[in-house]
């Protein structure tokens, strides 16, 4: 049980149950988070507590409850303590793990790296990288789209964010990719000690690999200012003249590269699945790409890909790249009238909101027109669609992510045709960020 509310209040306690000893509901979440959340919603409503890997968490469901926590008007919740419980040893210092004045200082500096002018340059640099990588893709009846897209988005990230990885061979880049995966998957470790063979130890080792990798390139990026994000973080400063230290640059690069390629990968993979299963949408998107008349679209031209944008938004709804976000109460507070004592961890679940029939008619159906101007189902509630979070911690790279995804999809549509069995359902693993365990097979043909 969570602590009861003070006797002199009329607040209700948070209901809930612990589940299985020690592991609680962790395995239920990994297998099927939507089923777990729906059962909690049906039994307890918007707010309940459950045990996850030995720790009690308040599960926050539905747009009203999510809005209260994410907007955080009474400043009772912090990001740092929440996320640090899961990924602190692996992504410490990342913007998502900072709060208050420290978060504001870092965000003000980092915003200089995500201006519209820099975004335009990033899109220009994106096109040749994507075109070159897609030349290596091979046709097949069971082409594994997810690992191919993950390799592509990591290549994009190292090129756009790092300015390339000179001196690194394919084997080292593969180790870097494996290290990112290890760090992310360590978040749901039940055994949280550096024991051989555990996800936790693999995560700790992965963080060390990433740290060594970025520190090797740091002196060159400090020495010369270029347009890549790594160099930009080494040189930019806020209006007050504040700059990042070496440790801060490395911390931000590790977190940003993880966020930039992991989340984009699952969205692109989901888009390939549904476009492969819905040829009418695939051809509608392809027609818009052909109409641009270029294989190197500008940022402004990407805005003309209206159907691709609708599909992207629908796929962000169907498979949220970040299914839950973590917070911790640093003082006594409430969520929807329920008493939440200081020290409580909270798991806010936008992925559940995205599948609520109360807000999304036939929520499991692929229907990009939900986001069309004449429907805008996402506007029924301010927090009905929240793939990038909300409040002061809303994703700083959301516009880059949208541009990256649309650029890659534009190239895919001009280069390949693909189909997916209409009955196919991706076997998603939610050990951390979602990914298809079968690699997301598609029938791929070069145009």
Q: Which of 237-251, 351-365, 433-447 has the lowest mean pLDDT?
A: 237-251
Highest mean pLDDT among 77-81, 87-91, 202-206, 222-226 belongs to 202-206
pLDDT at 367: 98
pLDDT at 429: 92
pLDDT at 443: 98
Residue ranges per structural domain of the chain: 12-446
Question: Mean pLDDT throughout 172-193?
Answer: 83
* β-bridge partners, 416: 446
Question: Mean pLDDT throughout 431-435?
Answer: 87
Percent of the chain with pLDDT over 90: 66
Tell me if residue 142 falls in helix, strand or coil: strand
Other residues' Cβ atoms within 10 Å of the Cβ of residue 98: 22
pLDDT-derived band at 83, boundaries 50, 70, 90: confident
Strand pairing report for 12-13 and 338-340: parallel
The predicted-structure confidence for 2-61, as pLDDT tens digits, reads as follows 877 887 778 899 999 999 988 999 999 999 999 999 999 999 999 999 998 788 999 999
pLDDT at 173: 82
Computed over every residue of the chain, the mean pLDDT equals 92
From CA 193, how far away is CA 245, in angstroms rounded?
A: 30
Smallest CA-to-CA distance from 354 within 61, 65, 69, 68 is with 61
Question: Mean pLDDT throughout 380-402?
Answer: 92
CATH for 12-446? Answer: 1.10.630.10
The predicted-structure confidence for 107-156, as pLDDT tens digits, reads as follows 888 887 888 998 999 999 999 999 999 999 999 999 999 999 998 998 88
* β-bridge partners, 352: none
The reported pTM is 0.90
Strand pairing report for 345-348 and 416-419: unpaired
Name, in order, each residue with C-beta under 8 angstroms of 278's C-beta and a sequence gap of 6 or more.
366
pLDDT at 383: 97
pLDDT-derived band at 70, boundaries 50, 70, 90: very high
Using the predicted structure, report yes or no on whether residue 75 has a pLDDT greater than 90: yes
Question: Mean pLDDT throughout 248-274?
Answer: 91
DSSP string computed for 257-301: HHHHHHHHHHHHHHHHHHHHH-HHHHHHHHHHHHHHT-SS--HHH
The predicted-structure confidence for 311-345, as pLDDT tens digits, reads as follows 999 999 999 999 999 999 999 999 999 999 999 99
Name, in order, each residue with C-beta under 8 angstroms of 116's C-beta and a sequence gap of 6 or more.
299
From CA 162, how far away is CA 218, in angstroms rounded?
A: 10
From CA 57, how far away is CA 347, in angstroms rounded?
A: 6
pLDDT at 278: 98
Name, in order, each residue with C-beta under 8 angstroms of 44's C-beta and a sequence gap of 6 or more.
15, 16
Q: List strand residue ranges (DSSP E) for 23-154, in order.
A: 47-52, 55-60, 77-78, 140-144
From CA 341, how far away is CA 2, in angstroms rounded?
A: 8
Report whether 285 belongs to an annotated binding site. Answer: no
pLDDT-derived band at 353, boundaries 50, 70, 90: very high
């Amino acid at each position: 049980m969570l602590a009861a509310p003070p006797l002199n209040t009329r607040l209700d306690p948070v209901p809930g149950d612990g589940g299985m000893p020690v592991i609680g509901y962790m395995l239920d979440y990994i297998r099927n988070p939507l089923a777990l959340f729906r059962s909690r919603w049906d039994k307890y409503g918007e707010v309940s507590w459950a045990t996850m890997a030995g720790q009690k968490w308040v599960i926050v469901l539905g747009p009203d409850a999510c809005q209260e926590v994410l907007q955080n008007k009474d400043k009772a919740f912090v990001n740092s303590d929440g996320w640090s419980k899961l990924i602190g040893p692996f992504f410490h210092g990342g913007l998502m793990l900072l709060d208050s004045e420290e978060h504001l200082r870092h965000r003000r500096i980092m915003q200089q790296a995500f201006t519209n002018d820099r975004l335009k340059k990033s899109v220009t640099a994106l096109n040749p990288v994507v075109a070159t990588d897609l030349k290596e893709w091979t046709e097949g009846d069971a082409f594994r789209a997810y690992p191919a897209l993950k390799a592509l988005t990591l290549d994009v990230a190292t090129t756009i964010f790092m300015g390339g990885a000179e001196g690194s061979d394919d084997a080292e880049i593969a180790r870097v990719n494996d290290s990112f995966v290890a760090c992310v998957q360590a978040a749901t470790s039940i055994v949280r000690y550096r024991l051989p063979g555990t996800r936790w130890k693999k995560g700790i080792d992965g963080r060390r690999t990433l740290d060594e990798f970025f520190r090797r390139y740091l002196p060159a990026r400090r020495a010369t200012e270029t347009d890549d994000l790594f160099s930009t973080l080494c040189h930019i400063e806020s209006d007050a003249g504040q700059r990042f230290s070496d440790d801060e640059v490395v911390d931000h690069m590790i977190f940003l590269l993880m966020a930039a390629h992991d989340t984009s990968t699952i969205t692109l993979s989901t888009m390939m699945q549904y476009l492969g299963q819905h040829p009418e949408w695939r051809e509608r998107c392809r027609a818009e790409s052909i109409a641009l008349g270029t294989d190197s679209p500008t940022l402004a031209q990407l805005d003309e890909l209206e159907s691709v944008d609708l599909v992207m938004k629908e796929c962000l709804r169907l498979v949220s790249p970040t299914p839950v976000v973590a917070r911790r109460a640093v003082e006594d507070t409430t969520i929807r009238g329920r008493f939440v004592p200081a020290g409580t961890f909270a798991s806010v679940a936008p992925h559940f909101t995205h599948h609520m029939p109360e807000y999304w008619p036939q929520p499991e159906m692929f229907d990009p027109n939900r986001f069309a101007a004449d429907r805008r189902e996402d506007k029924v509630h301010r927090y009905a669609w929240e793939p990038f979070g909300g409040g002061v911690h809303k994703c700083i790279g959301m516009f880059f992510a949208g541009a990256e995804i649309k650029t890659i999809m534009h190239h895919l549509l001009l280069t390949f045709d693909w189909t997916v069995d209409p009955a196919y359902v991706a076997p998603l693993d939610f050990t951390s960020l979602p990914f298809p365990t079968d690699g997301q097979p598609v029938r791929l043909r070069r145009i």
